[in-house]
Amino acid sequence: MRYWGRVIAALAVAGCTSSPPSAERITGQNPPQLASVASEEAPPIVFNTQMRSDIEVPACESQSQGHAQIQILQDGTIESTVIINNKSDESIRFWHIHHLAAGASTGPIIWWLTSPVGVDLNLTDRHIDIRQVGIFVPNPHFASAEAGLAELLANPSNFYVNFHSDRCPGGVARGFLP
């Protein structure tokens, strides 16, 4: 009986971490205070998105697609898991998070999700699965990681993840954060 109690408790905790982000849990008003205000045991904020070529700008003829999970830890660290189904057998170069200003169709890179930053990885595997801590890049929209994180928490739908290939250097597929 004790074993099943622990299994049920573990499942309950796991179920809580996959719930959509909530402004009630963390408002994003003051990211540097997240670790001091929240418990070290608090679950991360999790965003999931499907990356598809039909919403990429400029359009890309590709069957490759992906899934990105972005986790924001209580200390403000961004951890990512990106899985790419490279159906078109492309040479995948890199992926990152962009910010999209109102009325724009593309935006600057805010966090690189591959390293080393700016280096073409040229991955040709059919299935690519990379876990990476996000690497902030100063840009025209945000001078600091804290400012970018505050905006990401307040308005996640203004951010998208995309990956690039040799065939589609402007982007193979993108997915907006919810």
Q: Which helix (H) or strand (E) covers residue 16, if one does? A: helix 2-17
Residue 11 has pLDDT above 60, yes or no: no
Q: Which two structure tokens, joined as six digits, stand for 94? A: 């890199």
For residues 175 and 41, the model is more confident at 175
Residue 72 has pLDDT above 50, yes or no: yes
The pTM of this model reads: 0.75
pLDDT digits (tens, 9 = 90+) for 83-115: 999 999 999 999 999 999 988 999 999 999 999
Q: What is the dihedral of CA 158, 108, 43, 132, to 10 degrees?
A: 150
Q: Which two structure tokens, joined as six digits, stand for 18? A: 């996959």
Q: How confident is the model at residue 40 (pLDDT cuts 50, 70, 90)?
A: low
Over range 59-84, report the average pLDDT: 94
Q: How confident is the model at residue 120 (pLDDT cuts 50, 70, 90)?
A: very high
pLDDT digits (tens, 9 = 90+) for 124-175: 999 999 999 999 999 999 999 999 999 999 999 999 999 999 999 999 999 9
The CATH code of the domain at 2-176 is 2.60.40
